[in-house]
């Protein structure tokens, strides 16, 4: 299994390398195949456990509410697909629903299937991934300095940047760089503090607004963790602070994406128009904002032809935006249900790490970052979401019985207090 995990990590890192795609003749969809095959195998294993009456998984009240919210979100898209005048292929609609549900299926499927696996075995599976994360972190950091000093000519010239960071040696877009950096925090949170420092510096040096946002999130959560005030009262003002900061950081980019020739701006406008036209449930599954909508030729591209007149000249026009796909396909009702689902998802997963506050801090930071990013990208419905869910599930199993650091300190202090009188009584007994 350790080879499967390291293989998934390699797919996550190198699956979007344009040079490899050109050399081996595969596209972005091919990269999604390995994680989905592993997901099918895990779900089949859970089905076998059910048949043989083995222990499955016990859901908390938060998780049950989360599944209800997600079910209502799916129902909004289904109702619209039935009653609207846009009717896509059933298979394409099912694929859209599967993509949206892949994260929770992979996370809870991993916990269910591997729950009887010994903790030491799970740790041995993770060791190669941790070593690879260390090597990748150091290599990326060194390459940044070499690029600045010698100019290898591999820097990105993305017009949305204020600086030109050297991420094209692996990634053709800065979004994937930040995705891998944020993902690496999950592996290296217990390692030497130098790795955490390097990851924070990479967020800063990336010159991406998402990098700044993750850095701000991580530092804020780290302060709460160090002060031992990691609770809901501090969480709400923290989210407001991060939201204001992210809005300020993204102001220039918002102006950039409001341009008439911007892909995202086009999808935002058309999705809002569909939500109004098919109020309150939207246009239905596989109509806008997803790869399947473009792949199976959604009528929306013809109905709003003048908005998508540039479509034949672009290599990818599926929107790259969770916001446009949610509000356009499920309307206002579905958007409300999905936001509720995301909020409950945060609390449900963070509660799976109850005793290890440091890991819970890192996981919470990662969750909020990706939930917020989903409204400007497709981070929660891509192969990245499935792979991340596998590793989060393994981490949850490894640390489910961990004691809190403060509890361990109290236990040690109590033990020392009990041993002290015994040490004093021993010489007296000898006398």
CA–CA separation, 85 and 302 (whole Å) = 14
For the CA atoms of 258, 262, 264, 268, the dihedral, rounded to the nearest 10 degrees, stands at 50
CA–CA separation, 376 and 391 (whole Å) = 24
CA–CA separation, 379 and 173 (whole Å) = 14
Over residues 397-413, the pLDDT tens digits come to 998 876 655 444 444 44
Over residues 3-44, the pLDDT tens digits come to 888 888 888 887 766 666 666 666 556 677 788 889 999 999
The larger pLDDT score, comparing residue 431 to residue 15, is at 15
Residue 357 predicted with pLDDT over 50 = yes
**With the C-alpha atoms ordered 346, 172, 204, 133, is the resulting torsion angle positive or negative?**
positive
What percent of the chain is modeled with pLDDT above 90? 23
**Confidence at residue 25, expressed as pLDDT on a 0 to 100 scale:** 62
Task: Residue 46: name the closest of 107, 2, 121 by CA.
Answer: 107
251: confidence class by pLDDT, cuts 50, 70, 90: low
Q: What is the 3-state secondary structure (H, E, C) of 300-320?
A: HHHHCCCCCCCHHHCCCCCCC
**Confidence at residue 407, expressed as pLDDT on a 0 to 100 scale:** 47
Residue pair 393/108 in contact by the 8 Å Cβ criterion:
yes
Report the pLDDT averaged over residues 238-245: 62
**Confidence at residue 337, expressed as pLDDT on a 0 to 100 scale:** 94
CA–CA separation, 236 and 92 (whole Å) = 38
Residue 168 predicted with pLDDT over 70 = no
The larger pLDDT score, comparing residue 306 to residue 283, is at 283
**Confidence at residue 112, expressed as pLDDT on a 0 to 100 scale:** 93
Beta carbons within 8 Å of 287's beta carbon, 6+ residues apart:
86, 88, 274, 293, 298, 299, 300, 328, 329
CA–CA separation, 327 and 283 (whole Å) = 9
CA–CA separation, 424 and 91 (whole Å) = 76
CA–CA separation, 240 and 368 (whole Å) = 12
What percent of the chain is modeled with pLDDT above 70? 69
CA–CA separation, 306 and 21 (whole Å) = 32
Residue pair 301/265 in contact by the 8 Å Cβ criterion:
no
Q: Chain-wide mean pLDDT for the chain? A: 77
Residue 108 predicted with pLDDT over 80 = yes
| DSSP secondary structure letter of residue 55 | -
Over residues 35-93, the pLDDT tens digits come to 888 999 999 999 999 998 888 888 999 999 999 999 999 999 999 888 888 878 888 88
**Domain regions of the chain by residue span:** 2-401
Per-residue CA distances from 364 to 37, 212, 217, 370 (Å): 28, 17, 9, 10
Write the DSSP string, 328-340.
Answer: HHHHHHHHHHHHH
161-173 in b/e form (b: 16+ CB < 10 A) is: beeebbbbbbbbb
Beta carbons within 8 Å of 154's beta carbon, 6+ residues apart:
147, 166, 168, 169
Per-residue CA distances from 384 to 64, 328, 378 (Å): 25, 23, 9
131: confidence class by pLDDT, cuts 50, 70, 90: very high
HSE-up of residue 346 (Cα within 13 Å, Cβ side): 19
Name the pTM for this structure: 0.82
Q: How far is CA 18 from the centre of its chain?
A: 22
Provide the residue count of the chain.
431
Residue 189 predicted with pLDDT over 70 = yes
CA–CA separation, 79 and 283 (whole Å) = 9
């Amino acid at each position: 299994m350790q080879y499967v995990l390291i293989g998934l990590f390699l797919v996550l890192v190198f699956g979007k390398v344009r040079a490899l795609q050109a050399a081996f003749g595969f596209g972005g969809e091919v990269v999604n195949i390995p994680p989905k095959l592993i997901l099918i195998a895990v779900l089949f294993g859970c089905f076998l456990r059910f048949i043989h009456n083995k222990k499955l998984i016990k859901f908390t009240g938060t998780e049950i509410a989360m599944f209800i919210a997600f079910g209502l979100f799916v129902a909004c898209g289904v109702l619209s697909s039935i009653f609207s005048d846009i009717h896509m292929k059933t298979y394409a609609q099912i694929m859209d629903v599967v993509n949206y549900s892949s994260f929770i299926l992979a996370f809870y499927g991993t916990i269910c299937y591997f729950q009887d696996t010994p903790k030491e075995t799970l740790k041995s599976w993770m060791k190669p991934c941790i070593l690879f994360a260390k090597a990748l972190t150091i290599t990326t950091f060194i390459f940044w300095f070499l690029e600045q000093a010698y100019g290898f000519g591999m820097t990105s010239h993305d017009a949305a940047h204020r600086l030109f960071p050297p991420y094209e040696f692996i990634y053709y877009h800065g979004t994937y760089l930040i995705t891998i950096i944020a993902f690496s925090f999950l592996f290296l949170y217990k390692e030497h503090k130098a790795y955490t420092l390097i990851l924070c510096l990479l967020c800063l040096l990336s010159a991406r607004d998402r990098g700044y946002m993750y850095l701000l999130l991580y530092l804020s959560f780290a302060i709460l963790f160090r002060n031992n005030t990691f609770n809901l009262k501090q969480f709400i003002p923290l989210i407001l602070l991060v939201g204001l900061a992210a809005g300020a950081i993204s102001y220039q980019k918002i102006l950039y994406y409001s341009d008439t020739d911007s892909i995202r701006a086009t999808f935002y406008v058309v999705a809002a128009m569909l939500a109004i036209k098919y109020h309150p449930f939207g246009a239905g599954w596989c109509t806008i904002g997803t790869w399947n909508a473009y792949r199976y030729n959604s009528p929306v591209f013809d109905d709003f032809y003048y908005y998508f007149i540039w479509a034949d000249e672009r290599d990818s026009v599926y929107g790259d935006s969770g916001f446009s796909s949610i509000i356009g396909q499920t309307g206002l009702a579905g958007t409300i249900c999905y936001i509720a689902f995301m909020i409950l998802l945060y609390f449900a997963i963070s509660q799976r790490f109850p005793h290890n506050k440091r890991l819970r801090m890192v996981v919470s930071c990662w969750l909020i970052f990706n939930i917020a990013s989903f409204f400007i990208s497709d981070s929660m419905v891509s192969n990245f979401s499935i792979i991340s869910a596998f590793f989060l599930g393994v981490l949850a199993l490894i640390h489910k019985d961990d004691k809190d650091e403060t509890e361990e300190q109290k236990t040690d202090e109590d033990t020392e207090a009990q041993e002290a009188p015994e040490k004093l009584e021993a010489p007296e007994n000898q006398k």
